[in-house]
């Protein structure tokens, strides 16, 4: 049966140059491309070679000068600073960005220079990103509060001319001073920036280095606004570091032209957002989600984007998201499943939703980790709107699989992010690269070339790009995820490849077991890892975080989930081990650190993850594991 999705998907694979060439008509170009796709140096494909453009112009100036100047471009809402709120129109945001671009230019930043941005979730973070794009400089956003060593590694790799930061970030109940971390990183780094531009926050006023440092506020007073600089469509827009298996971060490089074309296309076709709609991504600009769908995607589409400096719970309660939706007339929310699990744990009945009018709200989008069916059903039941799981990666920059609400919504299958988005040729193969039959778990790979907006390469590391993503399956991009595609074309992401465990020769998905555990009414969150076993090779071990107010004993709940896994997956899973814990170790973006938990359980050496939300939690995990006979070596 034909529909807009089927038509778009088939054309995107049969005629990618025609498909993306048409999508590119939605972008304002200074000079048109020579051709849509350059395959002459494969696998280093380039989109829109010969074209010239400017990303900041398309995100701001085009709207400011084209009739949307007085529309809200960015809403800032900060419950952690006493409910600070501020709205910037497209005119105001364009003018602030142009002035800050002038500040950067006055300190020597020109096209091709790198600028590291080490900021909290305040509007100035977006301004700094867009100001770099305006000048043709390459920004690299590092999550505010990263440890000095991790920041130093990124400084040495990117070699920024300027670093932009703030005096502090603010968590729920504490102030995190950035300047000691920044100073420590610069001292550790071999490369030294020419200048640091610091936004002073009243929660933490500090003395700066009088030679190296400049106050943002002072510099903006007499700044001369900078115009947009023409860059090649294939020039880098940003570097975003992601964790590597060697412990050294990988600098994902994103271009200007293809990035704009892809993100603008997604705003309507995946998220069903029109110019003027209010779109909220509850994440941070330190992650790819923040780049794509807090800053660039919404502004390229002429939407209003929301900067939220708060948490799903605790600022002040589990009704924070509903207040935001009601107060700012938010049409769509994009967040991680872990946020909803936190809300569900604090308010299992969803009673706080009734305190707010959220009739404006149309769609919830979840990504960042697999959405378990229990969380999906809870959100559907309580919000009465479509809940759309979708799957993508830092490397891809936008969704590989989704229920494309702007093309043709499909029925939801719990546990699946639905189908491949147009542009993506996803296949399931075994370890030797042979295709798997529908419904069989295997490695998820994507046929080259990848669509526009994906990674071009790794910063100054072409060979590492090849070895990390392309060499293992020639002609394909290795996602390092495992999953299935069923007879209807629905994809299910079961686990990272290293989360597939081998129990007595049977390849089993920890994600499938987590689905079962999450169905228990007393379980708020869960994780399953594989632990070493002399007889079976590996055994699954479950971690359970219970809902607030549960009165049943831990032993009874553990007995329940063991029985549930046996019934739903079978004795082959050999699921007999589980423990109850207070919280799961996660990255700041909400991903559960299953690999680190597995190393602790197996008494193996591990490196403290740079992105961990709270390192103390690993001691709690070790104690819990020791109580059931694991993690014996401290």
What is the pLDDT, as a whole number, of residue 457?
98
Give CA–CA dist 240/135, Å, rounded: 18
How many other C-beta atoms lie within 10 A of the C-beta of residue 288?
24
The pLDDT of 259-285, averaged and rounded, is 97
How many other C-beta atoms lie within 10 A of the C-beta of residue 126?
28
- Condensed to tens digits (0 to 9), the pLDDT of residues 177-229 reads 999 999 999 999 999 999 999 999 999 989 899 999 999 999 999 999 999 99
Q: What are phi and psi of 440, to 5 degrees?
A: -100, 130
Answer yes or no: do 224 and 263 share one domain: yes
- Domain end among 450, 483, 516: 483
Answer yes or no: do 424 and 460 share one domain: yes
Answer yes or no: do 520 and 471 share one domain: no
Give CA–CA dist 400/393, Å, rounded: 8
Answer yes or no: do 98 and 237 share one domain: yes
Q: How confident is the model at residue 515 (pLDDT cuts 50, 70, 90)?
A: confident
Instruction: Provide the strand spans (E) within 380-535.
Output: 387-389, 401-402, 419-420, 426-429, 442-447, 476-485, 491-496, 500-503, 506-509, 523-533
Between 608 and 473, where is the model more confident? 473
Residue 102 is assigned to a structural domain of this protein: yes
Instruction: Provide the strand spans (E) within 272-316.
Output: 278-281, 304-308
- Residue 459: which region, alpha, beta or left (left: phi > 0; alpha: psi -120 to 50)? beta
Distance of CA 438 to the CA centre of its chain: 29
Q: Which of 519, 513, 477 is nearest to 495 (CA)?
A: 513
- Domain end among 436, 451, 483: 483
Give CA–CA dist 275/264, Å, rounded: 11
Give CA–CA dist 379/577, Å, rounded: 29
What is the pLDDT, as a whole number, of residue 413?
94
How many other C-beta atoms lie within 10 A of the C-beta of residue 33?
22
Q: Which strands make up the sheet holding 491-496, listed edge to edge?
A: 426-429, 442-447, 476-485, 491-496
Give bridge partners of residue 170 from the DSSP assignment: 175
How many distinct helices (H) and strands (E) make up the chain?
20, 31
Answer yes or no: do 473 and 515 share one domain: no
Answer yes or no: do 264 and 154 share one domain: yes
Q: How confident is the model at residue 246 (pLDDT cuts 50, 70, 90)?
A: very low
Give CA–CA dist 346/314, Å, rounded: 10
Tokens of 407: 């093309």
- What does each C-alpha distance from 482 to 177, 431, 443, 499 come to in angstroms? 40, 11, 5, 8
Between 290 and 146, where is the model more confident? 290
Give CA–CA dist 336/200, Å, rounded: 30
Residue 165 is assigned to a structural domain of this protein: yes
Give CA–CA dist 529/593, Å, rounded: 10
Answer yes or no: do 468 and 607 share one domain: no
Residue 317 is assigned to a structural domain of this protein: no
* Residue 371: pLDDT over 70: yes
How many other C-beta atoms lie within 10 A of the C-beta of residue 579?
16
Give ∠ CA 224-227-229 in degrees, rounded to 5.
135
Give CA–CA dist 370/604, Å, rounded: 26
Tokens of 355: 């305190």
> Any idea which residue has 């606004």 for tokens?
225
- Condensed to tens digits (0 to 9), the pLDDT of residues 127-141 reads 999 999 999 999 999
What is the pLDDT, as a whole number, of residue 180?
94
Distance of CA 550 to the CA centre of its chain: 32
- What does each C-alpha distance from 383 to 357, 360, 380, 415, 453 come to in angstroms? 11, 12, 6, 18, 32
Residue 196 is assigned to a structural domain of this protein: yes
Tokens of 488: 């209807």
Give CA–CA dist 229/513, Å, rounded: 52
- Condensed to tens digits (0 to 9), the pLDDT of residues 374-426 reads 889 999 999 999 999 999 999 999 999 999 999 999 999 998 999 999 999 99
* Residue 611: pLDDT over 80: no
Residue 426 is assigned to a structural domain of this protein: yes
Give ∠ CA 211-213-218 in degrees, rounded to 5.
110
What is the pLDDT, as a whole number, of residue 6?
97
**DSSP letter string, 154-219:** HHHHH--SEEEEESEEE-SS-EEESHHHHHHHHHH-SS--SEEEEE-BTTB--PPPTTTEEEHHHH
* Residue 513 belongs to domain spanning: 506-626
Enter the DSSP assignment of 469.
I
Q: How confident is the model at residue 506 (pLDDT cuts 50, 70, 90)?
A: low
Answer yes or no: do 105 and 13 share one domain: yes
Answer yes or no: do 128 and 203 share one domain: yes
Lowest mean pLDDT among 226-235, 239-248, 544-553: 239-248
Share of the chain above pLDDT 90, in %: 76
* Residue 538: pLDDT over 90: no
Say if residues 74 and 53 touch (Cβ distance below 8 Å): no
Q: How confident is the model at residue 245 (pLDDT cuts 50, 70, 90)?
A: very low
The pLDDT of 458-469, averaged and rounded, is 96
Residue 332 is assigned to a structural domain of this protein: no
Q: What sign has the CA pseudo-torsion 364, 66, 110, 198? A: negative
**CATH number of the domain where residue 259 is located:** 3.40.50.12780
Residue 500 is assigned to a structural domain of this protein: no
- Domain end among 449, 483, 517: 483
How many other C-beta atoms lie within 10 A of the C-beta of residue 185?
24
The pLDDT of 55-67, averaged and rounded, is 98
Answer yes or no: do 567 and 442 share one domain: no
Between 144 and 5, where is the model more confident? 5
Those residues with Cβ within 8 angstroms of residue 411's Cβ, 6 or more apart along the chain or in another chain: none
Give me the number of domains the chain comprises: 2
Those residues with Cβ within 8 angstroms of residue 274's Cβ, 6 or more apart along the chain or in another chain: 268, 301, 303
Q: Which of 460, 624, 459 is nearest to 545 (CA)?
A: 624
Give CA–CA dist 483/492, Å, rounded: 5
By 3-state DSSP, what share of the chain in percent is helix, strand and coil, each rounded to 5? 35, 25, 40
**CATH number of the domain where residue 594 is located:** 3.30.300.30
Residue 532 is assigned to a structural domain of this protein: yes
Give CA–CA dist 597/510, Å, rounded: 13
Give CA–CA dist 420/490, Å, rounded: 8
Rg (CA), the chain: 24
- Condensed to tens digits (0 to 9), the pLDDT of residues 74-97 reads 999 999 998 899 999 999 999 999
Answer yes or no: do 431 and 562 share one domain: no
What is the pLDDT, as a whole number, of residue 569?
78
Give bridge partners of residue 138 from the DSSP assignment: 114
What is the pLDDT, as a whole number, of residue 497?
65
Answer yes or no: do 447 and 577 share one domain: no
Q: Where are the alpha helices (DSSP H) in 427-534?
A: 462-465, 510-518
Q: Which of 182, 173, 256 is nearest to 212 (CA)?
A: 182
């Amino acid at each position: 049966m034909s529909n807009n999705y089927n038509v778009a998907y088939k054309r995107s694979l049969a005629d990618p140059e025609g498909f993306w060439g048409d999508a590119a008509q939605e972008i304002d170009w200074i000079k048109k491309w020579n051709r849509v796709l350059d395959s002459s140096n494969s696998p280093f494909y380039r989109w829109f070679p010969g074209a010239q453009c400017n990303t900041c112009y398309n995100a701001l100036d085009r709207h400011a000068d084209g009739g949307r100047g007085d529309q809200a471009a960015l809403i800032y809402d900060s419950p952690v600073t006493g409910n600070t709120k501020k709205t910037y129109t497209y005119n105001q945001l364009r003018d602030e960005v142009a002035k800050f671009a002038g500040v950067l230019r006055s300190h020597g930043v020109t096209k091709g220079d790198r600028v590291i941005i080490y900021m909290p979730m305040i509007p100035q973070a977006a301004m700094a990103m867009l100001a770099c794009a305006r000048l043709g400089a390459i920004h690299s956003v590092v999550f505010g509060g990263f440890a000095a060593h991790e920041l130093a590694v990124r400084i040495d790799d990117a070699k920024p001319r300027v670093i932009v930061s703030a005096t502090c970030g603010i968590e729920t109940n504490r102030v995190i001073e950035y300047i000691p971390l920044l100073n420590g990183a610069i001292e550790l780094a071999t490369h030294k920036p020419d200048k640091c531009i610091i936004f002073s926050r009243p929660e933490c006023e500090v003395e700066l280095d009088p030679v190296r440092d400049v106050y943002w506020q002072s510099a903006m007073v007499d700044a001369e606004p900078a115009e947009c600089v023409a860059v090649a469509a294939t020039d880098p827009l940003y570097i975003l570091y992601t964790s590597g298996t060697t412990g050294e971060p990988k600098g994902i490089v994103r271009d200007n032209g293809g990035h704009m074309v892809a993100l603008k296309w997604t705003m309507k076709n995946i998220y069903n957002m029109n110019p003027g709609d209010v779109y909220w991504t509850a994440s941070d600009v330190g992650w790819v989600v923040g780049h794509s769908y807090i800053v660039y995607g919404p502004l390229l589409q002429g939407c209003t984007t929301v900067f939220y400096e708060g948490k799903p719970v605790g600022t002040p309660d589990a009704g924070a998201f509903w207040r935001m939706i009601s107060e700012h007339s938010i049409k769509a929310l994009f967040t991680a499943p872990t946020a909803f699990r936190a809300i569900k744990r604090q308010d299992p009945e969803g009673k706080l939703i009734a305190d707010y009018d959220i009739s404006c709200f149309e769609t919830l989008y979840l990504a960042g980790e697999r959405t378990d069916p229990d969380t999906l059903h809870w959100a559907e039941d309580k919000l009465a709107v479509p809940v759309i799981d979708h799957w993508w990666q830092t490397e891809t920059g936008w969704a590989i699989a989704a229920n494309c609400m702007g093309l043709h919504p499909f029925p939801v299958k719990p546990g699946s992010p639905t189908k491949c988005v147009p542009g993506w040729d996803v296949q399931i193969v075994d370890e030797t690269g042979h295709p798997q039959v529908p419904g069989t778990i295997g490695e998820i790979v994507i046929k080259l070339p990848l669509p526009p907006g994906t990674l071009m390469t790794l910063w100054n590391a072409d060979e590492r790009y090849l070895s990390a993503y392309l060499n293992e399956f020639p002609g394909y991009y290795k996602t390092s995820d495992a999953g299935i595609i069923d007879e209807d074309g629905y994809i299910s992401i079961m686990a990272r490849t290293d989360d597939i465990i081998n129990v007595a020769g049977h390849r089993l998905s920890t994600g499938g077991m987590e689905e079962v555990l999450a169905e228990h009414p007393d379980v708020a969150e869960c994780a399953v890892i594989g632990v070493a076993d002399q007889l079976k090779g590996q055994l699954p071990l479950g971690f359970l975080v219970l809902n607030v107010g549960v009165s049943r004993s831990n032993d009874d709940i553990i007995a329940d989930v063991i029985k549930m896994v046996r019934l739903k997956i079978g004795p082959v899973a050999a699921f007999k081990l589980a423990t109850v814990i207070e919280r799961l170790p996660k990255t700041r973006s909400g991903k559960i650190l299953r690999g680190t938990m597995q190393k602790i359980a197996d008494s193996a050496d591990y490196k403290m993850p740079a992105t961990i939300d709270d390192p103390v939690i690993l001691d709690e995990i070790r104690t819990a594991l020791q109580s059931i006979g694991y993690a014996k070596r401290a």
